[in-house]
């Protein structure tokens, strides 16, 4: 008996898109995925800072990549409803200057339209990262 695979629901496709973002952009270092998945007029709210479009996001991204290496972001919980996806994640990476391993958690909420990210809100443990960087 052969079973035909069912097409993914829009909600499931949206969830897969966000998981792809973290896998390709962060874990694989694929900068080109940013322009592919993040619309030119998309907005990313990162705490008190707002980035608009791929160009502004890549400034943030390149700054982090200049300071840290060996990124591995792993989803802990992923939820989706309608056009929103929420992902709670754990990130491990290495501080380039000291060689020390780092560990933070964060949560991202993404609104998706037509298979692309149009708005996102993220909150990550910047204080925890600063404490790790300051530790003797």
Task: Write the pLDDT tens digit of every residue in 33-90.
Answer: 999 999 999 999 998 899 999 999 999 999 999 999 999 999 999 999 999 999 999 9
- Chain length of the chain: 136
The answer to whether residue 62 is domain-embedded is yes
Q: Which domain holds residue 121?
A: 10-134
**Structural domains of the chain, count:** 1
d(CA 120, CA 133): 27
Per DSSP bridges, beta strands 101-113 and 84-95 are antiparallel
The structure's pTM equals 0.90
The answer to whether residue 102 is domain-embedded is yes
The answer to whether residue 2 is domain-embedded is no
The answer to whether residue 72 is domain-embedded is yes
| H or E element at residue 124 | strand 116-124
């Amino acid at each position: 008996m052969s079973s035909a695979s069912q097409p993914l629901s829009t909600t499931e496709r949206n969830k897969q898109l966000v998981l792809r973002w973290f896998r390709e952009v962060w874990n694989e270092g694929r900068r080109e995925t940013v322009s592919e998945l993040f619309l030119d007029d998309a907005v990313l709210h990162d705490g008190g800072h707002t980035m608009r479009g791929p160009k502004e996001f890549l400034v943030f991204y390149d700054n982090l990549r200049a300071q840290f290496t060996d990124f591995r972001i792993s989803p802990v919980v992923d939820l989706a409803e309608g056009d929103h996806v929420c992902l709670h994640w754990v990130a491990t990476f290495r501080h380039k200057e000291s060689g020390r391993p780092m560990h933070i958690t964060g949560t991202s909420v993404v609104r998706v339209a037509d298979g692309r990210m149009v708005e996102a809100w993220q909150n990550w443990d910047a204080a925890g990262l600063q404490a790790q960087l300051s530790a003797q």
